[in-house]
Amino acid sequence: MRSILAYLQQHEARNVEELLTLLRFPTISADPRHEMDMLACAQYLRDWLAARGFSAELLPTGGHPAVYAEWLAAPGAPTVLSYGHYDVQPVDPLELWNSPPFSPMIRDGCVYARGADDDKGQFLTHLLAAQAHLEVRGRLPVNLKIILEGEEEIGSVHLPETLQKNRDKLAADVAVISDSGQLAAGRPTLCYGLRGLLYFQVKVSGPSHDLHSGEYGGAVANPVNVLCGMIGRLQDADGRITIPGFYDRVRPMEAWERELLDRLGYGPEEVRRLTGVPELPAGGRRHPAEATWFLPSLDCNGIVGGYTGAGAKTVLPAEASAKISMRLVPDQDPKEISAAFVAWLKELAPPSVRLELQQLSCAGPILVPSQGRWMEAARAALKMTFNRDPLLVRMGGSIPIVLDIAETLGLESLLLGWGLPDDCLHAPNEKFDLAQFHAGTRAMAQLYDQLATA
């Protein structure tokens, strides 16, 4: 391993060049004008991997292609599936960028470009670590399969189908995904749980057209008033969600998990300061990470209806609508909660209005084993790289592909990333810390070795 680490140190400048090249492809998957850029980047990655000893191809998906590559010359060793995505988020508002999003610039040890962290800089560490093994030892310690998706930022529309169609090709022992981050620089982080997501569009309508509020106010139900009342009743005064049965399957936090919270190094006060709120719910008596990792939540993401222009207009609007999302935790079943939510809203809606519901997302929560041989291998690789025991965390967000990989391929995923909380993902001036990039590459080189003997 020492010679591989020395090789990586000698090639840091070249590896940064590799990153800059990748970042120059404007791979915005949401924008049809970038279709050829998407294809060019996919072909570039395929050729890059082929030139380094992988057998590589493009997998057609019905949308943007996925890149697939494999190196399978380690008989008897485990097979590792590395997942990443080469597409990026749109870049607007462009005027807020300090340098053009697809002309990567290095400032203060960080590279600024769209996709620097999410996810090009991160998945490239998997590739560069493999390259180091191949060049120094002429082989990898594990069999390695790599899939790079081109549609993650548009909801991975074709990924479940692509995994299903290529099940045999993608068969492996464990998956590794670097699409998350660390709590702070130099604090390696391993994630073992993600929340799921349910998302609804809710529409309440009443009169066939907008009415005069003097003529009809009080006589006819106002859809905006009704919808606000319904949303208000989804939570009680303590913030508990009122959907019947909502908490039935929520897995209680265990004692060792409570200890994780104590080790985080932040609490209610830091979150209050970071977000600018006057106070956290319940006076901040609950650790914010308990709320986001171990408990489900419900949020109205937006609400529209009626007159919102300047000055006064006395109108009784014909309709109102809202977007409502729920983050779900193990072992809540998204289909069950979806049905319970629909039934509850129907009950809350008075007969004076019509209710329409449309489900926009439905992804379940996931827990990966927090122990076991793959997790131990990851722990060891991170400790060797950062000289610190990794923090075990859950995440309040959702990475639906982790569930797809578990359900379709039957694989446990190791979720370890090198991004930092201030990397401005999906926002102007996205960055990636180059020290994290190099450390991540070294950690991946260690991880391949550790997985080989796990």
Binding site for Zn ion (CB under 5 A): 118-119, 179
Q: Closest approach of Cβ 288 to Zn ion, in Å?
A: 23
3-state secondary structure of 90: coil
Q: Closest approach of Cβ 152 to Zn ion, in Å?
A: 5
Where helices occur in 138-172 by DSSP H, the ranges are 159-165
Q: Closest approach of Cβ 231 to Zn ion, in Å?
A: 31
Residue nearer to Zn ion on the CB measure, 118 or 319: 118
Residue nearer to Zn ion on the CB measure, 123 or 294: 123
Q: Closest approach of Cβ 118 to Zn ion, in Å?
A: 4
Residue nearer to Zn ion on the CB measure, 151 or 319: 151
Residue nearer to Zn ion on the CB measure, 37 or 179: 179
Q: Closest approach of Cβ 179 to Zn ion, in Å?
A: 4
Residue nearer to Zn ion on the CB measure, 115 or 268: 115
- Which H helix or E strand runs over 225? helix 223-232
Q: Which two tokens stand for residue 36?
A: 């050829």
- Side chain identity at 243, as an amino acid letter? I
User: Please, are residues 431 and 423 in contact by the beta-carbon 8 Å criterion?
Assistant: yes
Long-range (24+ apart) CB contacts under 8 A made by 332-335 are 332/196, 332/246, 332/249, 332/250, 332/296, 332/364, 332/365, 333/249, 333/364, 334/196, 334/198, 334/362, 334/363, 334/364, 334/365, 335/362
Q: Closest approach of Cβ 85 to Zn ion, in Å?
A: 6
Q: Closest approach of Cβ 415 to Zn ion, in Å?
A: 12
Chain mean position to CA 173: 22
Q: Closest approach of Cβ 82 to Zn ion, in Å?
A: 14
Give the Cα separation of 57 and 270 in Å (integer).
47
* Closest CA relative to residue 332, chosen from 283, 298, 373: 298
Residue nearer to Zn ion on the CB measure, 179 or 449: 179
Residue nearer to Zn ion on the CB measure, 179 or 430: 179
Residue nearer to Zn ion on the CB measure, 257 or 423: 423
Give the Cα separation of 94 and 181 in Å (integer).
25
User: Please, are residues 80 and 172 in contact by the beta-carbon 8 Å criterion?
Assistant: yes
Residue nearer to Zn ion on the CB measure, 294 or 432: 432
Burial class (CB in 10 A: 0-12, 13-18, 19+), 27: buried
Handedness of CA 321, 327, 332, 335 (dihedral sign): positive
* Closest CA relative to residue 102, chosen from 91, 118, 117: 91
Q: Closest approach of Cβ 27 to Zn ion, in Å?
A: 12
